[in-house]
Structure 1
Amino acid sequence: MSEISQSGNRSYSGPEDLKNPDYMPPLAKAVPLGLQHVLAMFAGNVTVPIIIAGAAGIAGGDKIFLIQMAMLVAGLATLLQTIGMGPIGARLPIMQGTSFAFLPVIIPIAASIKGVAALPVIFGATLVGGIFHFFLGTVIGRFRGILPPLVTGLVVATIGLTLLPTGVEYVGGGKLAKFVTKDFGAWYHVFLGSLVIVVILGTKFLAKGIASASAILIGLIVGYLVAIPMDVVNFGTVADAAWFAFPQPLKYGISFEAAAVVGMCLMAIVSAIETVGDISGITKGGAGREATNREISGGTMADGLGTALGGLMGAMPNTSYSQNVGIISLTGVMSRHVVTIGALFLILSAFVPKIGAVVSAMPNAVLGGAAVVMFGMIAGAGLKLLNSVDMNRRNMVIIAVSLSVGLGLKAEPGVVSIFPDWVAMMMTTGLFPVAFLSILLNLLLPKEDH
């Protein structure tokens, strides 16, 4: 049974207490549990800035800075969720990190402008998109009825499916290997990427406990270590990186371009839908209950505020991380304080640029092996949500039309070239048309009688 300490705080010990977000395990257990949350999301969190840096041709200290800020903002955004601030924050064990969902919007910006000149445009759009996302949180509770598992499952699955080609490209060596060094698809790239995939799968299913939960990070480390004697790792930037550095808000300035801002705001709607799915997954998997309107609203507002903070600090948009939802279901520990400890680990890491330099030196092929698995896992998470949907003819039609149009336009973007650039950009993200069509069709098509 639970007891009341002299300080007035509860000391939890029963099975029901594990489902309580206010439960605080002993530090000897809380610290490893918090570190496990960091290990599960760390690779994904730093993958996005590395991919954007590659698309824009950014390297050296600028690339390290993006990685450093990704860690800092992820930690701060996570604290907004776990500790909260007034109505902001779900006060649930939600781990925030840099969002893959916005890559279809950010990569074209980075690729077209090139270099650090692309960063002010990206950060300006991130700031506005985050503010828009925040205000979505104030009203999203009223629209929960239009976001059933049919919609959220399709959105999450599409995120993974649209990103898989990027992961495969990195296994081949990335854009640098394709257009500059001309060794795209070389045996050593494919070998390293394949090795990482094998290690991840072996660790995930043959190991137990924290090793199994950290399979992606272990795969990256093994691939990195094997790549060193193969002479495909450049440690030049590591030696130049400082051991300690303070963050520099607005280091690259900030600017606003209409197409980028509109694209980011529209994608914020998709990100908000994803967040609703994650919050629902946490409360259902960890506590066996539905999320409250306050948790949905507060979590979405914190998501948006974290993204806006990223625009000011020099980071990409943030979102709740789906892989950490799985950890909660696996461990059965709903403690938000455990995730707070993980957030503090991230913040401390952000003040050590050497860490960012070591990560940025990772070969693209190694990163690609992990990306293939991570992006596939995101698609799998979407399919899991769809598993609870009644697969009648109506719902099958909604799935078929939404995926066909969304993924089809992404594969053949020239079909919508007659539209203005910002409209064409949104129509070819894959995500936006899938989300829009699934919501619209779910509202319009009559329900089937059983």
Structure 2
Amino acid sequence: MSARPGTGNTSSTGTDSARAEASRHPVDEVLPPLKMITSGLQHVAAMYAGVVAVPLVIGAAAQLSPADTTLLMAASLFTAGIATLLQTLGVWRIGARLPFVNGVSFGGVAAMTAIIAAEGGRSGLPVIFGAVIVAGLLAFALSSWFCKLVRFFPPVVTGSVITLIGLSLLPVAFGWIVDGAGEGGAAPMGNIGLAAVALVITLAVRRYARGFLQSVAILVGLVAGTVIAVPLGMADFSGLGEAGLFGFPTPFHFGPPQFSIPAILSMCIVMLVIMTESTADMIALGRIVDKPVDERTIAAGLRADALGSAVAPVFNGFAASAFAQNVGLVAMSKVRSRYVVAVGGAILIVLGLCPLAAALVSAVPLPVLGGVGVVLFGTIAVSGIQTLVQAGLDQGENALIVAVTLGVGLAPEMAHGFYERFPDSATIILDSGISTGCILAVLLNLLFNHLRARKGDTRAPLGAPTEPKVTPQAAAHLH
């Protein structure tokens, strides 16, 4: 007799558990281990070249030895993993708790190379690290204020910026295909062929595969492309023999941080650029995963950026920011779980602690990354276009806002060296087309919509469609 109540309670508990599982947002789902690991690997593969690019450039500018440059690369992977875990899992009010990947920001390269030139080679690194620490801490303090700017990001702004992100990243993919042929140089036919094969395999898996295999199409394309490159002599595994199995980034390997006012000011500008880009990326990701972000989420995400940046120099790393290419991967794979990206962050930490594993990942030929990158970055642009559909481009000057944002934002990509004659402090922002476009879109929206509305203009001023033009399908997408 006593067993019946117990049985009833178990059934009730099971029902409640099932309901809770069904009501859980896909962002908070814990997937099967195999899918978690393989999907996490996709994120690592998509961002790897971007993470190691900055230490390679800085190492060359500082005339570091190959061993020290390798140390910078390992440190960048290690600190990117820490920052990614902060973003995805979160601690207190730190972390957006979205499938948001953080890595080394390329936006600070111009400022850091200028610091190295002023200080003289290797001795400039402690000055850079000191400046990044201060800029990161200041950004952490400003995050609660900066997040309030989200009200100035209606669909006409976010759609413009998301589209600009995708279009700005496409040259990166084609640069990987060229693979060092030089700016304006022709890509070798072998590189184009390998990139095309990787692209076709990715599309074929996405089109004809089902279930789990379909969701890891990017990883399949990368692995298959690398395997094909081996007999063609286009995959270099020589780094495996020189890499050690374990190596912890020595704190302040290049000396204790030094604090220079000009360097700190330049890195503070870089952090503002990073915060602008991360805000746009978080808004884009929120729309892609159907979990729109609010001021609190943006503030938490910016704190993770800032704290990751402040901690990175301790392990010889640089300022951290969002990686837009991984936003495209989330859009394409449809895997929205933040725990998948957290696994990717853990893999990054392992790569940073294991030079041998890092060397294995780096063996993926750049043309293969470029072929797959066309899909990733193009997907981001399409997401922006989908957002612009909701922006009411037939109203007011919204179409003009989009046109000018894309035109000016693409200037650094379409005409390299366009801002070369500007002061270094200005080129830090102007050379980042995403940041320039984001700022311009916000200002134009204020000018044509908000300020005009305050003056009593009767024309439709908003950056979103009027009520009658919202279709049931669009409303369902928005909610």
Question: TM-score normalised to the size of structure 1?
Answer: 0.80
- In 2: Cα distance, 1:54 partner to 1:105 partner: 13
Tell me by how many angstroms 1:434 deviates: 0.9
Radius of gyration: which is bigger?
Answer: 2
Partner of 1:427: 430
Partner of 2:354: 352
* One-letter code aligned to 1:147: F
- State whether structure 2 residue 226 is matched by structure 1 residue 224: yes
- 1:394-422 CA-partner distances (Å, limit 9, x unpaired): 11011111222222355346665553222
Match of 1:437 among 432, 436, 440: 440
- State whether structure 2 residue 153 is matched by structure 1 residue 150: no
Tell me by how many angstroms 1:173 deviates: 2.4
Partner of 1:398: 401
Match of 2:109 among 86, 92, 106: 106
Asked if the contact 1:36–1:210 (Cα under 8 Å) also holds between the matched residues in 2, the reply is no
Mapping 1:253-332, distance limit 5 Å: 253=255, 257=263, 260-278=266-284, 280-281=286-287, 285=290, 290-316=292-318, 317-319=320-322, 321-323=326-328, 325-326=330-331, 330=334
Cα gap change, 1:370/1:98 in structure 2, threshold over 3 Å: closer, same or farther?
A: farther
Partner of 1:45: 47
- In 2: Cα distance, 1:116 partner to 1:198 partner: 44
- State whether structure 2 residue 205 is matched by structure 1 residue 200: no
Partner of 2:456: none
- In 2: Cα distance, 1:131 partner to 1:4 partner: 50
Asked if the contact 2:51–2:77 (Cα under 8 Å) also holds between the matched residues in 1, the reply is no
Cα gap change, 1:211/1:251 in structure 2, threshold over 3 Å: closer, same or farther?
A: farther
Asked if the contact 1:50–1:360 (Cα under 8 Å) also holds between the matched residues in 2, the reply is no
- State whether structure 2 residue 169 is matched by structure 1 residue 163: yes
Partner of 1:17: 23
- State whether structure 2 residue 182 is matched by structure 1 residue 178: yes
Cα gap change, 1:44/1:122 in structure 2, threshold over 3 Å: closer, same or farther?
A: farther
Partner of 1:34: 36
* One-letter code aligned to 1:230: L
* Secondary structure at the counterpart of residue 318 of structure 1: strand
Asked if the contact 1:65–1:356 (Cα under 8 Å) also holds between the matched residues in 2, the reply is no
Asked if the contact 2:270–2:428 (Cα under 8 Å) also holds between the matched residues in 1, the reply is no
Cα gap change, 1:351/1:53 in structure 2, threshold over 3 Å: closer, same or farther?
A: closer
Cα gap change, 1:18/1:271 in structure 2, threshold over 3 Å: closer, same or farther?
A: same
- In 1: Cα distance, 2:202 partner to 2:27 partner: 30
* One-letter code aligned to 2:146: I
Structure 2: gaps of 5 or more residues = 1-8, 454-458, 461-465, 467-479
* Secondary structure at the counterpart of residue 410 of structure 2: helix
Moved more, 199-208 or 129-138: 129-138
Question: TM-score normalised to the size of structure 2?
Answer: 0.75
Moved more, 154-163 or 104-113: 104-113
- In 1: Cα distance, 2:195 partner to 2:115 partner: 28
Q: CA RMSD of the aligned region, Å?
A: 3.8
Asked if the contact 2:285–2:327 (Cα under 8 Å) also holds between the matched residues in 1, the reply is no
* One-letter code aligned to 1:178: G
* One-letter code aligned to 2:159: G
- In 2: Cα distance, 1:63 partner to 1:370 partner: 27
- In 1: Cα distance, 2:339 partner to 2:366 partner: 35
* One-letter code aligned to 2:270: M
- State whether structure 2 residue 358 is matched by structure 1 residue 367: no
Tell me by how many angstroms 1:435 deviates: 1.3
Give me the identity figure in percent: 29
Asked if the contact 2:40–2:340 (Cα under 8 Å) also holds between the matched residues in 1, the reply is no
- In 1: Cα distance, 2:207 partner to 2:222 partner: 16
